[in-house]
C-alpha cells in the first residue's frame, strides 16, 4: 500500500459515509445501520484498487451486496432456530403418542443394528443419504445390477428386523406392508 492510500481512503470515507448510512437507514433496522456501513467500507478498504473514479455507485453496489449477505445470514439463523424449536418440542403430541414415537425410533435403530455391516451400509446410503441404487453402486464402486439385488434383500431383512423389534416392544406395525413381512 502506498503511503498516500490511507489518506485517500479517509477522504473517501468522510465524503461517502453519510450517504451509505442513509442508504442503510432506509433499508435496515436502526440497530444494524452502523454495522452494515462499516462492513461496506471494510470491503472498500480490501478492494481499494478496484474503486472507480466515481466511487458512490460502486459503494452503493457493495452496500446492496453487504445487506443481501446480512439478510441471508439472518434467514439462515432464523431457519436454524425454527428447526431447533421443532426438534425440541414434541409437535404437540400427547405423552403417549410421544412415547410410542420414541419406541418406534428405538426399534428402527435396533433393527438397523441387527443387520450385517454391508446391509446396514446399503440401507443408510439409501435411506439416510437418499441415494438410488445406481448412485449407491457408484459410491461403493460395485456393479449396479448386483447393488439393486443386494439393496432389495437388505430392505426385506430390515423390514423383518423392524417387525421383530416392534412386536417385542408391543408396538403396532406402522405400515400395512410390514404386516405381510412379519408373517
pLDDT tens, residue by residue, 149-170 = 999 999 999 999 988 888 887 7
Query: Among 39-43, 108-112, 133-137, 177-181, which is the least confidently predicted range?
Result: 177-181
Domain that holds residue 116: 95-182
Q: What is the mean pLDDT of the chain?
A: 84
CA diameter of the chain: 85
Question: Higher pLDDT residue, 177 or 117?
Answer: 117
Q: Nearest 10 degrees: CA dihedral of 168, 171, 173, 179?
A: 50
Q: What is the mean pLDDT of residues 76-95?
A: 67
Indicate if 54 and 104 belong to the same structural domain: no
Indicate if 45 and 82 belong to the same structural domain: yes
Number of folded domains that form the chain = 2
H-assigned helices in the chain: 5-25, 30-46, 55-88, 95-114, 117-123, 133-140, 144-168, 176-182
- Report the pLDDT value the prediction gives residue 46, as an integer from 0 to 100: 95
The percentage of the chain sitting over the pLDDT mark of 70, rounded to a whole number, equals 84
Cα separation, 89 vs 112, whole angstroms: 26
Indicate if 18 and 52 belong to the same structural domain: yes
Question: Higher pLDDT residue, 127 or 61?
Answer: 61
State yes or no: pLDDT of 1 exceeds 60: no
Boundary (domain end) residue, out of 55, 88, 121 = 88
- Report the pLDDT value the prediction gives residue 181, as an integer from 0 to 100: 46
Indicate if 102 and 177 belong to the same structural domain: yes
Indicate if 9 and 41 belong to the same structural domain: yes
Question: Higher pLDDT residue, 96 or 59?
Answer: 59
pLDDT band at 180 (very low <50, low <70, confident <90, very high): very low
Place of cell 444494524: 32
Indicate if 51 and 99 belong to the same structural domain: no
Would you call 51 exposed, middle or buried from its count of C-beta atoms within 10 A (0-12, 13-18, 19+)?
middle
Indicate if 73 and 109 belong to the same structural domain: no
Amino acid at each position: 500500500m502506498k503511503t498516500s492510500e490511507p489518506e485517500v481512503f479517509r477522504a473517501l470515507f468522510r465524503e461517502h459515509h453519510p450517504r451509505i448510512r442513509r442508504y442503510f437507514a432506509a433499508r435496515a433496522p436502526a440497530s444494524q445501520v452502523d454495522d452494515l456501513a462499516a462492513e461496506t467500507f471494510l470491503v472498500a478498504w480490501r478492494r481499494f484498487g478496484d474503486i472507480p473514479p466515481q466511487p458512490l455507485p460502486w459503494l452503493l453496489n457493495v452496500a446492496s451486496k453487504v445487506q443481501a449477505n446480512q439478510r441471508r445470514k439472518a434467514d439462515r439463523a432464523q431457519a436454524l432456530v425454527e428447526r431447533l424449536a421443532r426438534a425440541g418440542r414434541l409437535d404437540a403430541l400427547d405423552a403417549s403418542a410421544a412415547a410410542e414415537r420414541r419406541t418406534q425410533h428405538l426399534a428402527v435403530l435396533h433393527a438397523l443394528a441387527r443387520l450385517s455391516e454391508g446391509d446396514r451400509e446399503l440401507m443408510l446410503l439409501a435411506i439416510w443419504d437418499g441415494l438410488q441404487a445406481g448412485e449407491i453402486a457408484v459410491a461403493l464402486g460395485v456393479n449396479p445390477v448386483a447393488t439393486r439385488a443386494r439393496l432389495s434383500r437388505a430392505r426385506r431383512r430390515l423390514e423383518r428386523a423392524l417387525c421383530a423389534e416392534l412386536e417385542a416392544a408391543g408396538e403396532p406395525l406402522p405400515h400395512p406392508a410390514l404386516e405381510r413381512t412379519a408373517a
